[in-house]
């Protein structure tokens, strides 16, 4: 038997799901259940049971924290002359929902997510699933391999892409920074909420001195605020 065929046998004996996960993260899963949970959107099982986790929200929470830490560590050492504000802005761009959605798409995550979505839905579920996968990988393989994955798949592609450096923004941070510099009174408020409880769309308004100046929709209040901020930024700040 040739050496190439010998190397192929362990790969073929693995379950199909395990092979798909290895194609995404670069390592065989030790606990496949963690990754299955990471790819399960809340809409797949809208009615929670008293025991057991039903969706990827807790892993998303963990993965978000791990990504933030790794990105901050990388930027701290790669850009020794940048101040706190510059590092914060760059980190915000790298971990932005837009960038994580792009990374998820490149890795093929949308093809693996288990969801029961009806009508229009936010593509952020794929960036959320990527964060959950990072959380699962951290629990399954530890920090060293997870840091390598984040570096190779999230940070390095971003830093080597001039297009992303120019276009990916955390609009809420930009808007808040602008208002603070102008000493402007502003606030975000919920205008409306649509859809079922487990799959709601939030309509958030951005107000200046109680006057509505922009609004946006999202699958959470935070994402609605980001959408409203983007509308205001593009209409009032970008060309200022």
- pLDDT reported for residue 33: 95
* Residue 1 located in a structural domain: no
| pTM for the predicted model, two decimal places | 0.64
Cα angle value 73/75/80 (rounded, 5°): 110
Quick one: 65 and 121 in the same domain?
Answer: yes
Q: Residue 191: helix, strand or coil by DSSP?
A: strand
Q: What is the pLDDT of residue 164?
A: 46
pLDDT of residue 9: 47
Work out the angle at residue 9's Cα, subtended by the Cα atoms of residues 8 and 12, and round it to the nearest 5 degrees. 85
**Residue 217 belongs to some domain of the structure:** yes
Q: What is the mean pLDDT of residues 136-152?
A: 98
Annotated catalytic residues are 64, 131
Q: Which of 5-14, 164-173, 192-201 has the lowest mean pLDDT?
A: 5-14
pLDDT at 165 over 90: no
- Nearest by Cα to 235 from 151, 174, 154: 174
Highest mean pLDDT among 102-111, 114-123, 170-179: 102-111
Strand order in the sheet with 211-218: 186-194, 201-208, 211-218
Question: Per the structure, how many domains does the chain have?
Answer: 2
Q: Decide: 27 and 14 in contact? Cβ < 8 Å.
A: no
Is 69 inside any structural domain?
A: yes
What's phi and psi for 40, nearest 5 deg?
-100, 105
- Give the integer Cα–Cα distance in Å for 116 and 151: 32
The CA distance from 177 to 88, in Å, is 12
Q: What's 139's domain CATH number?
A: 1.10.1520.10
Q: Is residue 2 part of a domain?
A: no
Predicted pLDDT of residue 197 = 73
User: Which has more confidence, 5 or 201?
Assistant: 201
Q: Is residue 8 part of a domain?
A: no
Give residue 121's pLDDT: 58
The helix (H) or strand (E) run that includes residue 216 is: strand 211-218
Predicted pLDDT at 13: 74
CATH of the domain at 196: 3.30.160.20
Q: What is the pLDDT of the chain when averaged over all its residues?
A: 86
pLDDT of residue 167 exceeding 70, the answer is no
pLDDT of residue 213: 97
Q: Quick one: pLDDT at residue 103?
A: 95
Q: Are both 219 and 148 inside the same structural domain? A: no
Domain that holds residue 183: 171-237
Number of Cβ within a 10 Å radius of residue 35: 25
Q: How far is CA 88 from CA 66, 93, 152, in A?
A: 16, 9, 20
14 vs 21, which has greater pLDDT?
Answer: 21
Task: Give CA angle at 88 (127, 110), nearest 5°.
Answer: 5
- Residues of the chain above pLDDT 90, percent: 55
Q: Does 83 lie in the same domain as 120?
A: yes
Q: Is 46 a residue whose pLDDT tops 80?
A: no
CA dihedral 144→124→89→205, nearest 10 degrees, is -150
């Amino acid at each position: 038997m040739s050496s190439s065929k010998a190397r192929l046998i362990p790969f073929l004996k693995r379950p199909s799901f395990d092979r798909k996960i290895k194609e995404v993260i670069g390592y065989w899963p030790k606990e496949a259940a963690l990754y299955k949970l990471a790819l399960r959107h809340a809409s797949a099982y809208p009615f929670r049971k008293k025991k057991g986790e039903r969706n990827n929200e807790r892993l998303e929470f963990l993965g978000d924290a791990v990504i933030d830490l790794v990105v901050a560590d990388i930027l701290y050492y790669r850009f020794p002359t940048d101040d706190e504000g510059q590092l914060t802005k760059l980190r915000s761009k790298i971990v932005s929902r837009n960038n994580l959605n792009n990374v998820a798409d490149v890795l093929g995550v949308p093809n693996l997510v288990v969801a029961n979505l009806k009508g229009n839905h936010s593509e952020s579920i794929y960036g959320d699933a990527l964060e959950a996968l990072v959380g699962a990988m951290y629990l399954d393989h530890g920090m060293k391999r997870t840091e390598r994955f984040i570096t190779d798949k999230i940070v390095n592609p971003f830093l080597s892409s001039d297009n992303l450096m120019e276009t990916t923004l955390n609009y809420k941070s930009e808007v808040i920074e602008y208002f603070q510099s102008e000493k402007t009174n502003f606030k975000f408020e919920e205008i409306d909420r649509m859809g079922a409880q487990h799959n709601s769309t939030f309509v958030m308004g951005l107000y200046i001195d109680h006057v509505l100046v922009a609004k946006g929709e999202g699958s959470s209040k935070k994402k609605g605020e980001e959408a409203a901020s983007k509308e205001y930024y593009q209409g009032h700040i970008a060309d200022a």
